[in-house]
Amino acid sequence: MIQDNSETTHNLTDSKLAALGRLRAKFQDNSLAWILSAVIILLTLLLVTSLVALFVRSPNEAAIENSRITPVVTAKVEKKTFDLTPVEIEGTASTGASENVAGTGTVTALNVAGGDTVNSGQVVGRVDGNPVIVLNMPFKLYRDINTGDAGDDVREVQRALQAIGLYHGRVDGSYGWTTSQAVNLLYSRNAIRPPQAAVPVAPAESGETTDAPAPAQPAPPALTPVLKAEIMAMGAPQATVTAVAPIGTVLSDTQPLATLKLGNPSVTLRVNISESSSFPVGQEVEITDPAQGKVVARGSVSTVGEFSTNPTAGSSDVKPGYDVSVNVTRNNGLTDGAKVMVSPAGAQGNKTAIAIPATALREIGGKTFVAVAGTKIKGNRQDGKHVEVHVDQVVDGWALLAEKPAPALKPGQTVIVAVPR
């Protein structure tokens, strides 16, 4: 009996051990499944997080990215009415360096008046009945020039006559037939009879001389001389007459026949930022002398300088702005150093015109264009068709298109003002 119980106990122990083995194996299988499931879930979460980070940006990130994009700036073509009340800016007139046309004798005729423009080769007047002609030379003549004379004075006469299209020979400083013919043309151009040589010029001799008398030959025609009393030096190709001696005046060292201002008359002024749009290069202007109360000259803007805060030339006033130079083309009494008022020509009343922002204008090959906005996009850039325009004037930052030829732009069209670089 005792042996049977022992065997029964042993069998039960084996059964328990087998059951425990089966439980352990099952637990191991379940643990592996849980681990695999956890790994898969973790990888899935990591993948989803990466995708969200890739495609979903915070507002700050979007703002930073947008700040890196330069947009295309455009504007509409408009039909606008502008107030063209004249803008008047004070300027200073300059008529150039002074130079006197001297002489000795009595003024018997005048061919110019104050304010006139005189050119090299032109008659200024008459003294003792003889013409006084100005030529662009660096110094006045110190002698009368006759056939065979040579020197620097002859050379300068040749250069002056060549500059006005009358002399076509060599500038060699020797006065001969070709130079005298140019002098004849100078007098003929002014409808004046040229002076005659006092003594006929004999032909030049060459070779051996003999005691036998030479055969009689006709003397060559006398060559026109250059008389220092009739040909006066002028230091520029063109000058403005500022004063002339009245007819009947006896000339002296202190009383010249005429006073000239060399160089082109001009006016300088300074405009601020808002005024600068009324004075672009090429703008026609009127120049008024407040003392006379009338327009004394007309001209056009030749240059516009860089923005400056330094005082304008000849003034202690510090007015920040752009220095504008006006080339005077019609001078009817502009005096040197005078304070004048400058305003755009024809600027008065209201004007309705097709207009675009002046910043949309482009210059290509000396012509003015605008880029009409299109739909073709290249990266951050927008292409536009170039259209030539003719600008009448610029007012308050707007370019007013001329009526003739008819503007190629129509109200409502879009033009490109600026593109990203």
Question: What is the C-alpha end-to-end distance of the chain, expressed in Å?
Answer: 109
CA-to-CA distance for 138 and 2, rounded, in angstroms? 157
What is the CATH number that goes with domain 73-82+350-418? 2.40.420.20
- Amino acid occupying residue 160: A
For 93, residues 6+ apart whose C-beta sits below 8 A from its C-beta are 265, 266, 267, 287, 297, 328, 334, 335, 336, 337, 338, 339, 340
Name the residue with tokens 């055969």: 215
Mean pLDDT by 10 residues, the chain (421 residues): 51 59 60 73 77 60 60 86 83 86 93 91 96 95 93 96 94 94 95 80 46 57 88 91 93 92 86 84 91 89 89 66 90 84 81 89 82 60 72 82 84 82 57
Beta strand 321-331 pairing with 294-308: antiparallel
Question: Which pLDDT score, from 0 to 100, does residue 407 have?
Answer: 83
CA-to-CA distance for 195 and 126, rounded, in angstroms? 14
Name the residue with tokens 């408009």: 78
Domain definitions of the chain by residue range: 2-56, 73-82+350-418, 89-94+263-344, 102-197+222-262
Pick the CATH number of 102-197+222-262 from 2.170.8.10, 1.10.101.10, 3.30.420.40, 3.90.1300.10: 1.10.101.10
Q: Is residue 270 within 8 Å of 286, Cβ to Cβ?
A: no
Question: Which pLDDT score, from 0 to 100, does residue 89 have?
Answer: 92
For 145, residues 6+ apart whose C-beta sits below 8 A from its C-beta are 153, 154, 157, 175, 225, 226
What is the CATH number that goes with domain 89-94+263-344? 2.40.30.170
